[in-house]
Amino acid sequence: MTQPAGKNQMWSGRFSESTTELVAAFSESVSFDRRLYRQDIAQSTAHARMLARVGVLTAVDADAITGGLQQVLAEIERGEFVWKAELEDVHMNIEARLTEIVGDAGKRLHTGRSRNDQVATDIRLYVRDAIDVLLPLIDRLGLSLLDLAEAEADSIMPGFTHLQIAQPVTFGHHLLAWREQIVRDRSRLVDARARLNVLPLGSAALAGTVYPLDRHFVAEQLGFDAVSENSLDAVSDRDFAIEFCSCAAMILVHLSRWSEELIIWSTPMFGFVALPDRFCTGSSIMPQKKNPDVPELVRGKTGRVIGDLNALLVLMKGQPLAYNRDNQEDKEPLFDAIDTVTMCLRVYAEMTPHIVVKREACRAAAARGFSTATDLADYLVRKGLAFRDAHHVVGAVVGFAAKAGRDLAGLSLDELRGFSSAIEADVYDHITLEASVSARKTYGGTAPEQVRAAIARARGKPLV
């Protein structure tokens, strides 16, 4: 049967006219889904082998197909492959080129398969590969945080609530808080990976197929843990992509919070840290400027990925079973989320080991903010005052010290006793910054010994 010129050979049998150029341009996806080529070729190779195993294809055809697919792969990777928008998507581009290379065998590859289960399989493989890139990046970043926390286990900085100085904490403790966040992010990715590692192929368009496919064989070839249980679900749901984007958004929300802190801390007003020059940029007009562009961009890009997650959720919400073309719109947000979270983690993994902590400035800031006021109140409680009374006394002491421009530990014993006769000389063992952090020895607390214990636990335990 001959085809009218310009018509898509893959599906135009029943059509009496070609799509208009506008519709073709509107509906093509090869401009962005071509990046699935590796997954598509891996899947087609496994499918062809399986078809030969179950006797649907001859071994000769299967060999021709798998050999031809290798050639297509090489052409793509050498940059020689000619992608054609009129062939719509990555799947049809590859199949058409395969058929040019191997002839009729290429036309038999699609037996028992639809682009619906094909694309669902490709994306799962793609997201799985992306997760496998992200996990080691998170591990690297987590290790850098442990190393830096170890170096700063005794360094004192103000701990904040409401961004007001609250109590002194150790810098190492603060860094370990960051690490906890990405450890949970990592486990979320691992969970998402386990749930998505299920093979849709064999679901065909929506209902399964008449060919005696060995789906478990294909699953094994492609490293899937299981085959999907329901063909309608497998071709249509993109919850795994949504779940991935949610993990990516959470990672970025965490990195964005760190970024916010680094940006504030690196201003001259704080001066807690210095970022290496190679992670900053200058101003074209103000010669003194050193701008923390990397954290700023990470904070900014977080908005994009939250948008990607939102796009996928809204894309899915109105779709009846089973496949709808809407789903073609899953790729750009998903790819954007993958690219963005990968870059942001990469840049943080590079930068973190080189963050310079300015210990003196951190300590001085903690000393300025009456951050040991709670310790003085706790001291008075131990001397017999009720906590509310102690709180009141210390409030008055702080008011006095603020007017005098001095820190609590800088007040004389006489001055302190003017507020409560319960105060004795041993008060200074409790209201210095060092005494304050050392006293917070609860499991998970800020005391240097607890920070070191937490680091030792973290080093001894593989991440899951």
Q: Which residues are catalytic?
A: 162, 283
Ramachandran sector of residue 405 (left: φ over 0; alpha: ψ -120 to 50; beta: rest): left
Nearer to ligand ARG, 31 or 58 (CB): 31
Which two structure tokens, joined as six digits, stand for 436?
Answer: 């304050």
CB of 89 to ligand ARG, least distance (A): 4
- By the rule CB under 6 A, 308 interacts with ligand ARG: no
CB of 332 to ligand ARG, least distance (A): 11
- By the rule CB under 6 A, 92 interacts with ligand ARG: no
- By the rule CB under 6 A, 121 interacts with ligand ARG: no
Among 29, 236, 446, 450, binds ligand ARG (CB under 6 A): 29
Beta carbons within 10 angstroms of residue 317's beta carbon: 7
Ramachandran sector of residue 370 (left: φ over 0; alpha: ψ -120 to 50; beta: rest): left
CB of 68 to ligand ARG, least distance (A): 21
Secondary structure element (H or E) that encloses residue 273, with its range? strand 273-274
CB of 274 to ligand ARG, least distance (A): 47
Which two structure tokens, joined as six digits, stand for 135?
Answer: 């996990």
Nearer to ligand ARG, 8 or 374 (CB): 8
Which two structure tokens, joined as six digits, stand for 30?
Answer: 């090869």
State phi, psi for 419 to the nearest 5 degrees.
-95, -30
Among 19, 43, 93, 116, binds ligand ARG (CB under 6 A): 116
- By the rule CB under 6 A, 89 interacts with ligand ARG: yes
CB of 199 to ligand ARG, least distance (A): 17
- By the rule CB under 6 A, 170 interacts with ligand ARG: no
Nearer to ligand ARG, 33 or 243 (CB): 33
Nearer to ligand ARG, 116 or 228 (CB): 116
Stretch near ligand ARG under the rule CB under 6 A, chosen from 112-120, 333-341, 381-389, 392-400: 112-120
- By the rule CB under 6 A, 115 interacts with ligand ARG: yes
Secondary structure element (H or E) that encloses residue 167, with its range? strand 164-170
Which two structure tokens, joined as six digits, stand for 420?
Answer: 């409560």
Secondary structure element (H or E) that encloses residue 158, with its range? strand 156-161
Nearer to ligand ARG, 197 or 328 (CB): 328
Nearer to ligand ARG, 67 or 208 (CB): 208
Which two structure tokens, joined as six digits, stand for 407?
Answer: 């820190």
Stretch near ligand ARG under the rule CB under 6 A, chosen from 1-9, 16-24, 111-119, 212-220: 111-119
Give the helix ranges, DSSP H, for 318-432: 331-351, 359-368, 373-382, 387-404, 413-417
User: Where are any strands of DSSP class E within 189-259?
Assistant: 198-199, 226-227
**CA distances, 250 to each of 245, 298, 444 (Å):** 8, 13, 23
Stretch near ligand ARG under the rule CB under 6 A, chosen from 187-195, 314-322, 324-332, 342-350: 324-332
Binding-residue total with ligand ARG (CB under 6 A): 10
CA pseudo-torsion sign 172, 177, 180, 181: negative
Among 19, 203, 327, 372, binds ligand ARG (CB under 6 A): 327
CB of 43 to ligand ARG, least distance (A): 13
- By the rule CB under 6 A, 378 interacts with ligand ARG: no
Which two structure tokens, joined as six digits, stand for 116?
Answer: 């619906």
- By the rule CB under 6 A, 119 interacts with ligand ARG: yes
Ramachandran sector of residue 391 (left: φ over 0; alpha: ψ -120 to 50; beta: rest): alpha
- By the rule CB under 6 A, 259 interacts with ligand ARG: no
Nearer to ligand ARG, 30 or 251 (CB): 30
Is 159 in a helix, a strand, or coil?
strand
CB of 217 to ligand ARG, least distance (A): 24
Residues 6+ apart with CB under 8 A from 307: 333
Distance CA 416, CA 379 (A): 13
CB of 327 to ligand ARG, least distance (A): 5
State phi, psi for 137 to the nearest 5 degrees.
-65, -40
Amino acid identity at 123:
I
- By the rule CB under 6 A, 325 interacts with ligand ARG: yes
Nearer to ligand ARG, 78 or 325 (CB): 325
- By the rule CB under 6 A, 328 interacts with ligand ARG: yes
Q: Which residues pair with 357 in a beta bridge?
A: 273
Beta carbons within 10 angstroms of residue 426's beta carbon: 10
- By the rule CB under 6 A, 372 interacts with ligand ARG: no
Query: What does the binding site for ligand ARG look like in residue numbers (CB under 6 A)?
Result: 29, 33, 89, 115-116, 119, 323, 325, 327-328
